[in-house]
C-alpha cells in the first residue's frame, strides 16, 4: 500500500506552498521511475498549482484536469 505524503519540512518552503507530493527514492534506474509509487507523485507534481490545491473538490479537480489536458494537447 502506498501512502501519499505532502512535502512539509520542519520549516516553511516553496514546495509546501505548491502542495507537492514526496517522491520516494528508487534504486533501479530502469524500472524504478516507472513504478506507480514513483511515477504517480512525479506526475502529480508536474500539474499546475490550481490543480494541486487540496481544497479543490473532486468534481472541480476533474474539470480542471480535463481542461488542462485538452489545452496541453492543442499546444503540442
Cell readout for 35 is: 513504478
- pLDDT per residue, tens digit, the chain (76 aa), is 555 555 555 556 565 667 787 777 776 666 677 778 888 888 898 999 889 888 999 999 999 999 999 999 987 6
17-24 CB contacts, 8 Å cutoff, 24+ apart: 18/49, 18/52, 19/49, 19/52, 19/53, 19/54, 20/44, 20/45, 20/52, 21/45
Domain boundaries, the chain: 14-75
Task: Enter the DSSP assignment of 6.
Answer: B
Q: Residue 9: its pLDDT value, please?
A: 53
Between CA 41 and CA 20 the distance in angstroms is: 8
Beta bridge partners of 21: 6
pTM reported for the whole predicted model = 0.64
Amino acid at each position: 500500500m502506498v501512502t501519499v505524503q505532502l512535502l512539509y519540512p520542519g520549516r516553511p518552503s516553496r514546495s509546501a506552498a505548491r502542495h507537492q507530493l514526496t517522491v520516494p527514492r528508487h534504486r533501479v534506474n530502469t524500472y524504478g521511475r516507472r513504478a506507480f509509487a514513483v511515477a504517480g507523485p512525479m506526475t502529480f507534481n508536474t500539474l499546475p498549482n490550481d490543480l494541486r490545491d487540496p481544497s479543490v473538490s473532486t468534481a472541480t479537480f476533474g474539470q480542471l484536469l480535463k481542461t488542462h489536458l485538452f489545452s496541453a494537447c492543442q499546444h503540442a
